[in-house]
Amino acid sequence: MTAQIIDGKAFAAEVRAKVAEHVSALKADHGITPGLAVVLVGEDPASQVYVRSKGKQTVEAGMESFEHKLDVSTSEEDLLALVDKLNNDPAVNGILVQLPLPDHIDEEKVINAIDPAKDVDGFHISNVGLLATGQKAMVPCTPLGCLMLLRDHFGSLSGKEAVVVGRSNIVGKPMAQLLLRDSCTVTIAHSRTKDIEEVVKRADIVIAAVGRPEMVTGDWLKKGAVVIDVGINRLPPAEEGAKGKLVGDVDFASASQVAGAITPVPGGVGPMTIACLLANTLTATCRANGLPEPE
């Protein structure tokens, strides 16, 4: 292996420690404790795991965690009523509705009902528009985490050729916006992109957010490219009852022979996502109270 490993786990721990420091200063100087409300509808096992670790890390950062676990049969109307209550609760600075929602609930309607100032996931249409026009937005956590890792690695991203594989509203599109804001030359590739390997080969920076296990292989990469693997895929277990291995959207074994630096899965982008959620909650709290925002 030649590539440097980008240690997202260690970086995320640093981000969380900085957040905790700010939170403790907020409490001491202003008597303010940031609060994050997480809403989970149904019992999707992966979502339950995410919500549990979000709650735990929120408390560890010194913030207040409000968990709302609703039955899978909860109506859209009742969920919207809860969002409205949280919007009006001064103890709640950030609201996150865990996706995916059950089929009978309109996801867009729920997301757009969240007060944009409390939309710590950055999915509200106002925040999407603010980010796209270069204004102060709440920035989606996963792409923000990727950007932080890239800035830490490169310093300036200006002029870099970046290829984002995936065009979802959650990862691919906001990632492309952030890279553009940092003056990269950005290409977004997706399932209809022709000669995708050749497109990816142009890149100094490759972001893989596809949801297909180990799709991007070493022979797609330019020598020395920096590879950020957003994918979280669980392979089928080798034997019944066992847990399948967790892999990214990048074939780590071959990619790490060619890349200059690469994030592992697990331990790369994943931990950054929750760290950025905490950072966004702190930012939302500072903005709500007219206090200077942490960097």
- Which residues would be at the binding site for ligand NDP (CB under 6 A)? 142, 165-168, 170-172, 189-192, 196, 209-212, 230-233, 249, 269-270, 273
The CA distance from 83 to 101, in Å, is 14
How is residue 148 written in tokens? 């932080």
Neighbour-count burial of 274, counting CB atoms closer than 10 A to its CB (0-12 exposed, 13-18 middle, 19+ buried)? buried
Closest to ligand NDP by CB, 169 vs 289, is 169
Question: Any binding-site annotation on 167?
Answer: yes
Which entry of 54, 118, 160, 173 is annotated as an active-site residue?
54
Shortest approach of ligand NDP to residue 145 CB, angstroms? 7
The CA distance from 65 to 84, in Å, is 18
Question: Any binding-site annotation on 65?
Answer: no
Residue 230: alpha-carbon gap to chain centroid = 9
Closest to ligand NDP by CB, 116 vs 268, is 268
Q: Are strands 246-247 and 233-234 parallel, antiparallel or unpaired?
A: antiparallel
Question: Can 121 be counted among the known catalytic residues?
Answer: yes
Per-residue HEC secondary structure of 160-178 comes to CEEEEECCCCCCHHHHHHH
Query: For the stretch 220-241, what's the b/e string if a residue is b when 16 or more beta carbons lie within 10 angstroms of its beta carbon?
Result: bbbeebbbbbbbbbeeeeeeee
Question: Can 54 be counted among the known catalytic residues?
Answer: yes
Beta bridge pairs of residue 36: 65, 94
Shortest approach of ligand NDP to residue 274 CB, angstroms? 8
Question: Can 44 be counted among the known catalytic residues?
Answer: no
Closest to ligand NDP by CB, 142 vs 283, is 142
Question: Any binding-site annotation on 181?
Answer: no
Which entry of 57, 118, 119, 121 is annotated as an active-site residue?
121
Which entry of 57, 98, 119, 249 is annotated as an active-site residue?
98
Question: Any binding-site annotation on 122?
Answer: no
Report which residue's Cβ sits closest to ligand NDP.
168
Closest to ligand NDP by CB, 22 vs 54, is 54
Beta bridge pairs of residue 40: 69
Shortest approach of ligand NDP to residue 167 CB, angstroms? 4
Residue numbers in the known binding site are 166-168, 232
Which residues are designated catalytic? Answer: 54, 98, 121
Residue numbers in the known binding site for NADP(+) are 166-168, 232
